[in-house]
């Protein structure tokens, strides 16, 4: 195979060779930090050593240690990817570029979701080809997950997975010009846990100046655990592993064992006298902060960064429908969902019943779960950011997947194929697949992807800015329409 000069790029660590096809060059598995092995798994990321010669960047690489993830009857393989592909050098980026050195194209850096315990750049949803086609340099990254990434351990820096993301942003600032990208026009975006991480990066002083715009897809500005909550998980993990709760004791435990104990960490009650569990029991890991990102942003963090934030209209369905729990939910289930996430559950349920008089118990339960996980924290972050010099935009994704006999709906993660313009992937189609058996509207992916590209390039996605008076939100579906404050009534009922 003959390689052209455009296939190789000189980075600060050495030369990498990518694969050129149809005007796009893709570089896979480029390390942005040293391999996190042994004790280094519980340390801040360190620079990767330089290499001699040309590093092959044409094959996907290893992924962060993780347990297999399944979500009932829906096939989420395109989302979670292949799981754990062992290998030491997994703190890597993939880069898609249409450009060559000397161009100054907008850059987008994507942080994947997966509950802080799963996912990787190898998911087929995160293919950057369409972004490169449309003049964007697209970067995806792996970060440490689970115990290595997020367990709050004495003797170790907190939020190591978050520190990995910041290290990847530093790699981008140092290297992306060689791939044709503009280091002064970086948009950091993420989905689910990845969006919550992105919100925390926005609120982190050390990350200031590394990006100009942020997109949060179904994350939360209120998604952090308090140190007290995190300490409960740490005690449970130390107990399960039979070691002292300290980084030195964890350093000698193999990755496989850290992954194996994960089931023993589910079901820990993280509610305290002052705080509910922001993940309502769905994951024992999140970022750990003294104050929520939305509070930090309200105090002025992320002041000069444009923000696009949104959620899907039926987020909670993913946690119910694939397990057969949407249609079978009772009034008691609705109350239990409210009690997990709100100090006054009866008042909350009453507000949701008032706002949605026609809703079934399953629909109310899903709405409360979706708002507890994503809706309230996204709106709070948008409100905190609105009215600054930088722009704030909000969206609500409403297209309903007909998967699982129509029950999946506009659920968590269903917007991703449209953002990446990969809605035609075969694995996404079928009665048990994310997008269901029917064709989505033919122009939905093109329009949504174009809005994300426009925001990255110009800071303007193509609709009205958000402010706390009107709360203008683009409702994205088969039709697109501006609405003022969707779910306003229910969200007023939250503390």
Q: Active-site positions?
A: 192, 315, 412
A 10 A CB-CB count for 399 gives: 21
3-state secondary structure of 141: strand
Q: How far apart (Å, rounded) are the C-alpha atoms in residues 462 and 455?
A: 8
Q: Which residues pair with 308 in a beta bridge?
A: 215, 393
**What is the CB neighbour count within 10 angstroms for residue 86?**
10
The region that residue 190 occupies, defined by phi over 0 for left and psi between -120 and 50 for alpha, beta otherwise, is beta
- 50: which DSSP letter? P
Q: How many CB atoms lie within 10 A of CB 75?
A: 18
Q: What is the rounded distance in angstroms from the CA atom of residue 494 to the CA atom of residue 23? A: 49
Q: Read off the DSSP letter of residue 101.
A: B
Compute the half-sphere exposure of residue 79: CA atoms within 13 Å on the CB side of its CA. Answer: 26
Asked if residue 311 lies in contact with residue 396, where contact means CB atoms within 8 angstroms, the answer is yes
Distance of CA 280 to CAs 226, 255, 412, Å? Answer: 14, 27, 15
Q: Count CB-CB contacts under 10 A for residue 271.
A: 16
Parallel, antiparallel, or unpaired for β 181-191 and 19-21?
A: unpaired
Task: Quote the CA–CA distance of 348 and 495 in Å, as a whole number.
Answer: 10
* CB of 305 closer than 8 Å to CB of 213: yes
Which of 406, 402, 398, 408 is closest to 366 using CA atoms? 408
Are 27 and 33 in contact by the 8 Å Cβ rule? The answer is no
Place of tokens 């399960």: 240
Alpha carbon distance 326, 336 (integer Å): 14
Query: For the chain, percent helix, then strand, then coil, each to nearest 5?
Result: 35, 20, 50
Tell me the pairing of strands 19-21 and 24-31: antiparallel
């Amino acid at each position: 195979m003959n390689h052209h000069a455009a296939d190789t790029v000189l980075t600060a660590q050495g030369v990498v060779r990518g694969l050129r096809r149809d005007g796009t060059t893709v570089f896979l598995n480029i390390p942005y930090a040293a391999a996190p092995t042994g004790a280094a798994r519980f340390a801040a990321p360190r620079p990767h050593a330089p290499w001699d010669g040309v590093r092959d960047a044409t094959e996907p690489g290893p992924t962060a240690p993780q347990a297999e993830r399944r979500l009932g009857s829906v096939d989420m393989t395109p989302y979670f990817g292949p799981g754990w592909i062992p290998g030491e050098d997994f703190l890597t980026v993939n880069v898609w570029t249409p450009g060559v050195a000397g161009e100054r194209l907008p850059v987008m850096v994507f942080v994947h979701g997966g509950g802080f315990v799963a996912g990787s750049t190898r998911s087929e949803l995160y293919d950057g080809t369409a972004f490169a086609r449309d003049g964007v340099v697209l970067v995806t990254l792996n970060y440490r997950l689970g115990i290595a990434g997020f367990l709050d351990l004495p003797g170790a820096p907190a939020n190591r997975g978050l520190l990995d993301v910041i290290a990847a942003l530093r790699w981008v600032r140092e290297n992306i010009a060689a791939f044709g990208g503009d280091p002064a026009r970086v948009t950091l975006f993420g989905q689910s846990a990845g969006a919550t991480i992105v919100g925390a990066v926005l609120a982190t002083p050390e990350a200031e100046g590394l990006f100009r715009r942020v997109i949060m897809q179904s994350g939360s500005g209120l998604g952090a655990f308090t140190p007290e909550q995190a300490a409960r998980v740490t005690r449970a993990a130390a107990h399960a592993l039979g070691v002292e709760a300290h980084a030195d004791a964890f350093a000698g435990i193999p990755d496989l064992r850290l992954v194996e104990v994960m089931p023993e960490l589910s079901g820990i009650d993280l509610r305290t006298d002052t705080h509910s569990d922001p993940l309502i029991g769905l994951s024992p890991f999140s970022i750990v902060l003294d104050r929520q990102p939305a509070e930090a942003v309200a105090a002025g963090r992320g002041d000069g960064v444009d923000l696009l934030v949104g959620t899907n209209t039926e987020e909670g369905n993913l946690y119910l429908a694939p397990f057969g729990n949407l249609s079978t939910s009772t009034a008691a289930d609705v109350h239990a969902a409210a009690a997990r996430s709100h100090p006054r559950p009866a008042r909350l349920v009453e507000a949701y019943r008032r706002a949605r008089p026609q809703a079934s118990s399953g629909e109310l339960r899903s709405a409360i779960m979706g708002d507890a996980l994503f809706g309230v924290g996204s709106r709070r972050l948008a409100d905190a950011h609105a009215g600054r010099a930088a722009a704030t935009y909000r969206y609500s994704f409403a297209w309903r997947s007909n998967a699982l006999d129509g029950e999946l709906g506009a659920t968590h993660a269903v917007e991703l194929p449209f953002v990446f313009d990969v809605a035609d992937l075969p694995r996404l189609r079928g009665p048990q697949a994310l997008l269901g058996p029917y064709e989505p509207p033919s122009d939905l992916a093109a329009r949504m992807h174009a809005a994300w590209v426009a925001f990255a390039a110009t800071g303007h996605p193509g609709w009205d800015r958000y402010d706390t008076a009107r709360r203008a939100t683009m409702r994205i579906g088969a039709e697109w329409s501006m609405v003022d404050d969707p779910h306003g009534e229910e969200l007023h009922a939250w503390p």
